[in-house]
């Protein structure tokens, strides 16, 4: 580690360390992880590029405020256990965040190195540490305080809140509707981007902290808020049910066989192993021509999954241009490298049935960009008469989600007109015993933002119940 007068001197000449990826022509045919992660040598080289800023903007860009320069300093010293401990002070899920966070819009997007060259690969360094959990110290646990908290949902927001509360001495039970923990981390994100073993490892870590999990527990049906706070004996509730209800396109043919919503398609493959049919009794169409509508990470996950299920032509169709796609740049890069075709400036009009009754094509309207809309992006405008048909034997809609309807069933708190829970900046709802966070409050967002909400709510719950 180069030093001048006892101070670290960053490596300002070396380029950003390239990602350690599997060859695209090979990985596109199976579900192996795309990125193998940094080796020790790669991590050390990249850590030398950090400028160790006095005012680290990267920390400000992180929704959970990980002390990024400090853990990178420990990497340079090859004290990987201490580096991981620093991350764990603010985040319990480094192996997950290192893989799926949109770093280019958050920590790396604020990195000073990125102003004149390329930012430090913070996400890769975080993952490098997260994949070595055995090096971490045992978390410091506060004594049991006798307070019980129910967490509804085991996605990133729920498990973050549960972990923080457990460390603060609370008796925490997580209620999960599915048969396994992780929420969107297991049913929404494919194996090639986030291996399920990594999620299981993080869930197991929470169990070691004393967090209890009740699977196959659909809250709102089994028990509502009043029952949890009453006869069940919980002192507080954190609602993190997510926003999993699909948005409809509302066009003819949307209900045809082999027209899927991305949620359903990905759940079948990711959680129910439809890719291994008939070994697992979860059928799904292994199509030759697939069209996915949308431009976010979910759309990328769906089209790349279709490619791995044998699609000869896999298209991601988006009503704006590639430059406006909200997906992570890395996901778009990976998709194109794997042979995915990007079709910009088209919007679906109608799904067409073939002689067998299944979808055989989709009629699309060609678009052009007009003036910016409320999002700041240029609004897509139809080009009169510019309509074409795209052959397909599977079509997937990935245009977003609506609020999970179980929030209303759980009850006891105010919802807005779209069915999302109304909560303040600390996750407090209209009920002083109920907090909420993640997608069921904000609408569909990123894993790390959901984690940030869970962490904030846990601090508020701790402060409130400790004062009683």
Domain ranges (residues) in the chain: 3-135, 148-244+403-466, 246-400
Distance, in Å, from the CA atom of 68 to the CA atom of 417, rounded to the nearest integer, reads: 39
Distance, in Å, from the CA atom of 214 to the CA atom of 314, rounded to the nearest integer, reads: 39
Neighbours of 276 (CB within 10 A): 12
214, β-bridge pairs: 175
pLDDT at res. 276: 83
Q: Do domains 3-135 and 246-400 have the same CATH topology?
A: no
pLDDT at res. 5: 52
Q: Measured between alpha carbons, how far is residue 291 from residues 127, 276, 383 in Å?
A: 32, 22, 21
Q: 148-244+403-466: what CATH class?
A: alpha beta
pLDDT at res. 4: 52
Query: 353: which residues sit within 8 A by CB, 6+ positions away?
Result: 253, 256, 359, 360
DSSP-assigned letter for residue 154: -
CATH architecture of the domain with range 246-400: 3-Layer(bba) Sandwich (3.50)
The list of the chain residues with pLDDT below 70 reads 1-6
Beta strands of 117-168 (E only): which ranges? 148-152
Distance of CA 273 to the CA centre of its chain: 20
Q: How long is the chain?
A: 468
Distance, in Å, from the CA atom of 465 to the CA atom of 168, rounded to the nearest integer, reads: 11
pLDDT at res. 382: 94
Omega prior to 278 cis, within 30 of 0: yes
CATH level 3 topology of 3-135? Fumarate Reductase Iron-sulfur Protein; Chain B, domain 2 (1.10.1060)
Q: List for the chain the helix, strand, coil content (%; round to 5).
A: 35, 20, 45
Neighbours of 230 (CB within 10 A): 11
pLDDT at res. 8: 82
Quick one: which H or E segment has residue 60? helix 57-61
Instruction: Please tell me whether the overall predicted TM-score, pTM, comes out greater than 0.85 for this model.
Output: yes
Neighbours of 242 (CB within 10 A): 27
Of 202, 215, 238, nearest to 464 by C-alpha is 238
HSE toward the beta carbon, residue 413, CA cutoff 13 A: 34
Contact 372, 267 (CB under 8 A): no
pLDDT at res. 372: 86
């Amino acid at each position: 580690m180069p030093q001048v007068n006892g101070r670290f001197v960053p490596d300002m000449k070396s380029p950003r360390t390239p990602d350690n990826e599997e060859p695209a022509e090979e990985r596109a045919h199976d579900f192996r992880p795309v990125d193998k992660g940094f080796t020790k040598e790669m991590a050390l080289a990249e850590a030398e590029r950090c400028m160790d800023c006095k005012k680290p903007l990267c920390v400000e860009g992180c929704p959970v405020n990980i002390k990024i320069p400090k853990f990178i300093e420990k990497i340079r010293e090859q004290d990987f256990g201490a580096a991981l401990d620093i991350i764990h002070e603010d985040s319990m899920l480094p192996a997950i965040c290192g893989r799926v966070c949109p770093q280019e819009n958050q920590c790396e997007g604020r990195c000073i190195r990125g102003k004149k060259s390329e930012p430090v690969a913070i996400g890769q360094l975080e993952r490098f540490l997260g994949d070595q959990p055995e090096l971490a110290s045992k978390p410091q646990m506060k004594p049991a305080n006798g307070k019980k908290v129910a967490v509804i949902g085991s996605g990133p927001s729920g498990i973050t809140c549960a972990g923080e509360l457990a460390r603060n001495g609370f008796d925490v039970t997580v209620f999960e509707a599915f048969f396994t923990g992780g929420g969107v981390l297991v049913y929404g994100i494919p194996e090639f981007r986030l291996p399920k073993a990594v999620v299981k490892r993080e869930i197991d870590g929470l169990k070691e902290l004393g967090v209890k999990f009740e699977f196959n527990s659909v809250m709102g049906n089994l028990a509502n808020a009043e029952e949890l706070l009453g006869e069940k004996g919980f002192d507080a509730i954190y609602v993190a049910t997510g926003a999993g209800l699909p948005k409809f396109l509302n066009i003819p043919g949307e209900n045809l066989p082999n027209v899927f919503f991305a949620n359903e398609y990905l759940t079948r493959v990711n959680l129910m192993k439809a890719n291994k049919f008939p070994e697992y009794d979860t059928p799904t169409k292994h199509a030759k021509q697939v069209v996915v509508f949308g431009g976010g990470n979910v759309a990328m996950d769906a089209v790349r999954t279709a490619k791995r299920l044998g699609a000869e032509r896999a298209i991601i169709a988006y009503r704006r241009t590639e430059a406006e796609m909200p997906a992570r740049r890395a996901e778009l890069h990976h998709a194109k490298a794997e042979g995915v075709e990007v079709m910009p400036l088209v919007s679906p009009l109608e799904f067409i049935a073939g002689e067998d009754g299944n979808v055989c094509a989709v009629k699309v309207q060609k678009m052009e960009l007009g003036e910016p809309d409320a999002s700041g992006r240029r609004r897509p405008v139809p080009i009169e008469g510019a309509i074409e048909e795209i052959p397909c034997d599977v079509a997937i809609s990935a245009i977003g989600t609506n609020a999970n309807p179980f929030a209303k069933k759980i009850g006891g708190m105010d919802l807005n007109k779209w069915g999302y829970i109304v909560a303040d900046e600390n996750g407090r709802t209209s009920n002083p015993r109920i907090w909420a966070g993640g997608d069921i409050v904000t609408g569909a967002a990123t894993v790390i933002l959901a984690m940030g909400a869970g962490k904030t709510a846990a601090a508020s719950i701790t402060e409130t119940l400790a004062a009683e």
